[in-house]
Amino acid sequence: MQFAKWYLPILVFVISGMPALSGAFDIQLTQEQIEEAKEYGAKYKGKEIFNSPVVKSACFGEYPKGDGGLVLSKYIEIAVTSSMQAANNMRMTSDEIREIEKSTAMKLVVDVSEIVENPEDVEVFLVQESNTILPLKYEFGKEKRVVQDVVCFFQYEKLNPGVKTEIIIKTGDRQRKYKINFSAIK
């Protein structure tokens, strides 16, 4: 009986803590969520998507108009891809969706004001409480813009969507810091 007295409060805490984490982006999307994200993207065609409530919550800084970036959870990535394709009267293919679904890394798109030769010339890391999380890899963004985008890949398993996150971006002598709340991102 003594065991139950100290075990029960821990069990209640763990169970009650779960809803707080469920508000954060989902690593595994249901078919319903995938369809919802596709429809959401088609509703806000092209660049309009960045002013939509759902995608705006995944943007930080002045992105896409200036310094900052975009957290591409699986839901957000499907919505943005669907939006860009809808602007060109196209639809996402099942292969594109499957590729996003099987990903084990969250993408973080950062706006780089400076010209860099290699994506690795940009350092991006996340700080969550006392943990510093480094990306698996960097790539240049696909979209041609006046400023360069660098895409960083962070393993989902290393992220805690329930804690506040600081994004630190270093290019040359310049360092920028942004705060983001993963729990507000679909």
Q: pLDDT tens track of the chain, all 186 residues?
A: 454 444 433 333 333 333 333 445 788 999 999 999 999 999 999 999 999 999 999 999 999 888 899 999 999 999 999 999 999 999 999 999 999 999 999 999 998 877 778 888 899 999 999 999 999 999 987 765 556 789 999 999 999 988 999 999 998 888 999 999 999 999
Q: What is the spatial distance between Cα 125 and Cα 138, in angstroms, rounded to a whole number?
A: 11
Torsion angles phi and psi, residue 151, rounded to 5: -105, 125
Q: What dotted CATH number matches 20-184?
A: 2.60.40.10
Q: Where are the domains of the chain?
A: 20-184
Collapsed DSSP state (helix, strand, coil) of residue 75? helix
Specify the long-range contacts of residues 88-91, CB closer than 8 Å, at least 24 apart: 91/38
**Tens digits of residue pLDDT in 85-126:** 999 999 999 999 999 999 999 999 998 877 778 888 899 999
CB 75 within 8 A of CB 33: yes
The pLDDT value recorded for residue 10 is 38
Angle of CA points 85, 88, 89, to nearest 5°: 85
- In a 3-state reduction of DSSP, which class is residue 41? helix
Q: Which residue has the tokens 């803590």?
A: 17
pLDDT at 2: 53
